[in-house]
Amino acid sequence: MNLTNNLYTSSLALLTDFYQITMAYGYWKTGMAEKTGVFNLFFRKNPFNGGFSVNCGLSYVIDLLQSFQFTDTDLSYLSTLEGPDGRPMFEPAFLAYLQELKFTCDVDAIPEGTVVFPHEPLIRVKGPILQCQLIESPLLNIINYQTLIATKAARIHVAAKGEPVLEFGLRRAQGIDGALAASRAAYIGGGTSTSNVLAGKLFGIPVSGTHAHSWIMAFDDELSAFKAYAEAMPNNCILLVDTYNTLEGVKKAIEVGKILKSKGKQLLGVRIDSGDLAYLSIEARKMLDEAGFPDAKIVASNDLDENIISSLRTQDAKIDVWGIGTKLVTAYDQPALGAVYKLAALKEDGKWQYKIKLSEQAIKVNNPGIQQVRRFYTQKNSRRQIVADMLYDTLQTLEEKHKIIDPLDITRQKIIHSGEADFEELLVPVFRGGTATYESPKIADIRSATLRNLAELPWGVKRFVNPHSYPVGLEEKLFTKKTDLILKLRNLD
């Protein structure tokens, strides 16, 4: 799969933090480069004070890892770097090692479009520790941003209650990469289309759009502008009515709609981009209905997000389609997800040694081991509902009774007996020995998976204010192992 269609023409091996290179050099220098390690990529807290997140970015990760290599120009650049003493930072032999380096890790990941929760490994990487280390920063760069935007889009989809959501944040996005990744993630999260034509071409996302205020201003009057646009685009006629006076604009749009109807064409709708959207949409709806245009849609924009949409719905606004720009592509009220990538196990003399990072903050103590996530669900009236997620150690035998313990609160426990609920394993093989074994679904299928997942999620978890905490925890043996490691490292065992 070539996701980026040669958007990037140079190697991305140096798209990493410098300390990844210095650690790689250290592993090589000390003879540890080929030791097998296991790293988990996860986040600690749902964004936007919400109750869920939507995993996104795996296709980018696959594309990155399939083409991972150090080019001659990469190595030439590294050879110019000097330490504070003026001597070369890296030995020529190390650069020669990087020149021959091939990606050989195993990678397991949760598919895109899956609803996920804190502490769950979205990606698990197993392989030579040097390789695992080198890919940390680019994986975090991809997953952090796209998961954040997909989650924001999913929240907007929930607020819109299934009504179309148009993403048009290109002009406000953080650069070209940010715009493309945001358009893709927004569609996966539940958006309906994008205004970003390049994203439409690269990813197969439906594109939408009509005209801006400048079209109206380019003509002598609003009616002339509407007539000209309807003549030019009779099959795509949504008219922006708030350039001068919104309700007067609606009247003129109705006049043009009658002209279109006489020619066998249709006024698709009007767009309102400013003012009191609740009042104006209600009045516009009355006018359109009375004029014989009950099927004409009312599109609203103007710095909308899930909270404003929810408010407008409680005001009985007559809005059919939501146009979302700035607050979606910039994740306006939370600038970063904060996912991390931690060493969880290292193979020493053929045996696995579990690793853990301690902290004074319990939330920053990572979970050790080679983890899998088991999701339990029930079927009621032909409808599936997810009920709990369990992180467990793949090297341990599971009991018939699953006790799931919240890693941050031992009093929060859930017991599920075998056979009491169906389950699925969330992490699936993506690379084996450095070779891709997973083919990413079409983007429309990923989006459909998101919508199915959201439908399976208990409503309380989807609330925007004080959402219910979905049960996620460690299987009892893994919880005990983690506790023992903490006590040992703190000399309390």
Residue 87 included in any domain: yes
Q: How many domains does the chain have?
A: 2
Residue 262 included in any domain: yes
The arithmetic mean of pLDDT across residues 422-440, rounded, is 97
Tokens, residue 470: 């979905």
Residue 91 included in any domain: yes
Residue 228 included in any domain: yes
> Residue 8: its pLDDT value, please?
53
> Residue 399: its pLDDT value, please?
87
The arithmetic mean of pLDDT across residues 419-447, rounded, is 95
Tokens, residue 299: 């599109």
Q: pLDDT confidence of 275, banded at 50, 70, 90?
A: very high
> Residue 10: its pLDDT value, please?
63
Residue 239 included in any domain: yes
Q: Give per-residue pLDDT as tens, 132-177.
A: 999 999 999 999 999 999 999 999 999 999 899 999 999 999 999 9
CA torsion sign for 416, 420, 421, 423 is positive
Domain encompassing residue 85: 70-102
The arithmetic mean of pLDDT across residues 447-466, rounded, is 96
Query: For residue 289, what is the domain's CATH number?
Result: 3.20.20.70
Of 295, 316, 337, the position where a domain reaches its end is: 316
Mean pLDDT, rounded, of the chain:
95
**CA torsion angle 294 295 301 306 (round to 10):** 100
Please count the other Cβ atoms lying within 10 Å of the Cβ belonging to residue 91: 13
Name residue 387's amino acid.
V
Of 286, 316, 346, the position where a domain reaches its end is: 316
Of 79, 102, 125, the position where a domain reaches its end is: 102
Residue 443 included in any domain: no
> Residue 304: its pLDDT value, please?
96
Q: What percent of the chain has pLDDT over 90?
A: 91
> Residue 382: its pLDDT value, please?
77
Residue 301 included in any domain: yes
Q: pLDDT confidence of 1, banded at 50, 70, 90?
A: very low
- pTM comes to 0.95
CA distances from 479 to 200, 215, 310, 404, 471 (A): 45, 62, 40, 9, 15
Q: Give per-residue pLDDT as tens, 437-449.
A: 999 999 999 999 9
Q: pLDDT confidence of 2, banded at 50, 70, 90?
A: very low
Using CA atoms, how far apart are residues 281 and 315, in angstroms rounded to an integer? 11
The arithmetic mean of pLDDT across residues 455-460, rounded, is 95
The arithmetic mean of pLDDT across residues 419-445, rounded, is 95
HSE toward the beta carbon, residue 234, CA cutoff 13 A: 10
Residue 255 included in any domain: yes
